[in-house]
């Protein structure tokens, strides 16, 4: 794919600058993760919010190893043939959640198309281990599509996560650009529909800046609302490696505000929209919005 010099050399705007680690909590989190041999999407995906999140003693756990079986071009996570999942990982995650004293834990994973159930049982075991070790902790899971396997989806739901997140990532027209089959967009919508019909609180996320048009973004919002998706995150795509898809546009904070306004108008319960917003960044705030709505 030809990439113009303008795109290749485009500099990040000032609002995307982030701080370096400056708090002892960062190193405490680092030590807990290292001791329990745990991966995080914070490091694996080169998240720009890692310093801010770890300074607050929170992290997004990456289960099922650190190697993904798919080759999406927007993501920095290692790709290839993974090792078998660790049977100790669910308990190790639960222990780390307890040590970090987390009120809200987010669990995500690499995609494991090599496993019969895509890793659904491992997700369920991790949720149950956290709930057993620390019953007061709310658990959000950010899941792959499990190739649309309804039994796998149900297996995760049976462990009773508090929120179930599955990201569309971008608009349907750009799926080939990020090395995804276009039909997978509709499969992801079916996944979210299945989760909702089973009674889950559902959430999804989009990256912008890959070359999408506004009408395509709004159509994606409508697609998500057509399957009754409750919560939405919208963030700026940042190119993690030289081999990854390039950034075509940097959206301004005002543009993110406008996208949030339009999404809320379509009926989402809450929307987090901003340059540095990510699926799990301050995820507890969206959950608390839902709790307040229930109280009222």
Q: Using the predicted structure, report yes or no on whether residue 44 has a pLDDT greater than 60.
A: yes
SS3 at position 270 = strand
Res 111: pLDDT: 96
**Which carries the bigger pLDDT value, residue 281 or residue 86?**
86
Condensed to tens digits (0 to 9), the pLDDT of residues 63-94 reads 999 999 999 999 889 999 999 999 999 999 99
pLDDT band at 281 (very low <50, low <70, confident <90, very high): confident
Weakest-pLDDT range from 21-25, 71-75, 232-236, 243-247: 21-25
Weakest-pLDDT range from 70-74, 91-95, 130-134, 197-201: 70-74
Res 54: pLDDT: 77
Weakest-pLDDT range from 31-35, 110-114, 280-284: 280-284
Averaged pLDDT for residues 225-243: 95
The CA distance from 175 to 171, in Å, is 7
C-alpha closest to that of 228 among 265, 264, 191, 192: 192
* Full-model pTM: 0.92
Averaged pLDDT for residues 56-68: 91
Give backbone dihedrals phi and psi of 31, rounded to 5 degrees, phi first.
Answer: -70, -40
Strands 60-63 and 39-40: antiparallel
Q: Using the predicted structure, report yes or no on whether residue 220 has a pLDDT greater than 90.
A: yes
Averaged pLDDT for residues 229-248: 94
Q: Using the predicted structure, report yes or no on whether residue 6 has a pLDDT greater than 70.
A: no
Res 2: pLDDT: 42
Res 5: pLDDT: 45
What percent of the chain has pLDDT above 70? 96
Q: Using the predicted structure, report yes or no on whether residue 252 has a pLDDT greater than 80.
A: yes
Q: Which residues of 143-154 are buried (b: 16+ CB within 10 A; e: fewer)?
A: bbbbeebeebbe
CATH architecture of 19-295: Alpha-Beta Barrel (3.20)
pLDDT band at 198 (very low <50, low <70, confident <90, very high): very high
Q: Using the predicted structure, report yes or no on whether residue 129 has a pLDDT greater than 50.
A: yes
Weakest-pLDDT range from 12-26, 154-168, 180-194, 197-211: 12-26
Neighbours of 195 (CB within 10 A): 25
**Strand 163-165's sheet: what is its strand order?**
39-40, 60-63, 104-109, 138-142, 163-165, 202-208, 231-236, 270-274
Averaged pLDDT for residues 88-111: 95
Condensed to tens digits (0 to 9), the pLDDT of residues 153-171 reads 999 999 999 999 999 999 9
The answer to whether 198 touches 166, Cβ cutoff 8 Å, is no
C-alpha closest to that of 227 among 206, 257, 200, 265: 200
Average of per-residue pLDDT values in the chain: 92
Q: Using the predicted structure, report yes or no on whether residue 259 has a pLDDT greater than 80.
A: yes
Q: Using the predicted structure, report yes or no on whether residue 279 has a pLDDT greater than 70.
A: yes
The answer to whether 85 touches 114, Cβ cutoff 8 Å, is no
Q: Where are the domains of the chain?
A: 19-295
Res 1: pLDDT: 43
């Amino acid at each position: 794919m030809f990439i113009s010099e303008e795109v290749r050399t485009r500099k990040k705007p000032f609002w995307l600058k982030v701080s370096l680690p400056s708090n002892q909590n960062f190193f405490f989190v680092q030590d807990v993760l290292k001791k329990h041999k745990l991966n995080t999407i914070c490091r694996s995906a080169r998240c720009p919010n890692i310093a801010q999140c770890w300074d607050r003693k929170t992290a997004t756990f990456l289960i099922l190893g650190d190697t993904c079986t798919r080759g999406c071009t927007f993501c920095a996570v290692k790709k290839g043939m993974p090792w078998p999942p660790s049977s100790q990982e669910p308990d190790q995650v639960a222990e780390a959640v307890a040590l970090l004293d987390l009120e809200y834990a987010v669990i995500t994973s690499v995609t494991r198309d090599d496993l019969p159930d895509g890793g659904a049982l491992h997700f369920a075991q991790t949720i149950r281990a956290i709930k057993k070790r620390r019953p007061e902790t709310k658990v959000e899971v950010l899941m792959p599509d499990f190739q649309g396997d309804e039994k796998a989806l149900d297996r995760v739901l049976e462990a009773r996560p508090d929120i179930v997140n599955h990201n569309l990532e971008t608009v349907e027209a750009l799926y080939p650009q990020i090395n995804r089959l276009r039909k997978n967009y509709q499969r992801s919508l079916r996944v979210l529909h299945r989760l909702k019909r089973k009674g889950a609180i559902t959430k999804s996320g989009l990256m912008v800046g890959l070359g999408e048009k506004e009408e395509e973004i709004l159509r994606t919002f409508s697609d998500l609302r057509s399957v009754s998706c409750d919560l939405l995150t919208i963030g700026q795509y940042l190119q993690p490696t030289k081999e990854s898809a390039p950034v075509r546009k940097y959206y301004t904070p005002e543009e993110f505000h406008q996208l949030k306004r339009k999404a809320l108008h379509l009926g989402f319960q809450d929307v987090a929209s901003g340059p540095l917003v990510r699926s799990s960044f301050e995820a507890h705030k969206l959950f608390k919005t839902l709790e307040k709505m229930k109280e009222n």
